[in-house]
A = this chain, B = another copy of it.
Amino acid sequence: MTEAAAYWDITKERMPREEREQNTLTALQSTLHHVYDNLPFYRRHYDAHGFHPDRVETLQDFTERVPVITKQMLRDDQEENPPFGSYVGVGPEDLVRVHGSSGTSGKPTLYAFSAKDWAYTTEVMAQGLYTCGVRPGDRVQLSTVFSLFMGGWGALLGTERIGATAFPLGSGETERQLELMHRIGSTVLICTPTYALHMLETAAVLGYDAAASPLRLGIFIGEPGAAIPGTRSRLESGWGVQVRDMATTSEMTPWATNAECELGVGVHVMQDEVWTEVVDKDDYGKLAPDGESGALIYTHLRRDSQPMIRFLSGDESRMTYEPCDCGRTYPRLPDGVYGRLDDMLLIRGANIYPSQVQRSLLEVPGTGVEFLIVMTREGSMDEATVRVERDPTIEVSDPAAFNTELAQRVQRKLKNDTSVTFKIEILPPETLERAISKAKRVDDQRPKYRPV
Contact = CB atoms under 8 A, between A and B. Distances in A.
> So how many copies of this chain end up in the complex?
2
A62 B169 CA distance: 37
Given A107-B179, A183-B83, A98 B167 contact: yes
Interface of A: 82-84, 92-93, 95-98, 100, 103, 107-108, 110, 115, 136-137, 139, 145-148, 152-153, 160, 163-170, 173-176, 179-180, 183-185, 415-417, 419
A163 B95 CA distance: 9
21 contacts: A92-B165, A93-B137, A95-B165, A96-B160, A96-B163, A96-B165, A97-B160, A97-B165, A97-B166, A98-B139, A107-B179, A108-B176, A146-B146, A146-B168, A146-B170, A148-B176, A148-B180, A173-B415, A173-B416, A173-B419, A175-B416
A93 B183 CA distance: 17
Contacts of A415: 173
Which 3 pairs from chain A and chain B are nearest by CB? A146-B146, A147-B170, A98-B167
A147 B160 contact: no
A399 B118 CA distance: 57
A100 B186 CA distance: 14
A420 to B, nearest CB: 11
A179 B136 CA distance: 40
A198 B148 CA distance: 20
A11 B168 CA distance: 36
Contact of A166 (B98, B110, B170): B98
Main secondary structure of the interface of A (DSSP, over half): mixed
Contacts of A83: 183-185
A94 to B, nearest CB: 9
A235 B377 CA distance: 45
A158 to B, nearest CB: 13
Contacts of A145: 170
Given A146-B146, A168-B147, A170-B148, A176 B103 contact: yes
A170 B170 CA distance: 10
A185 B95 CA distance: 13
A170 B147 CA distance: 5
B148 A82 contact: no
- Most chain B Cβ neighbours within 10 Å, of A148, A185, A415, A419: A148
Given A179-B107, A416-B173, A96 B166 contact: yes
B180 A100 contact: yes
B108 A180 contact: yes
- Most chain B Cβ neighbours within 10 Å, of A84, A415, A416: A416
Contacts of A174: 416
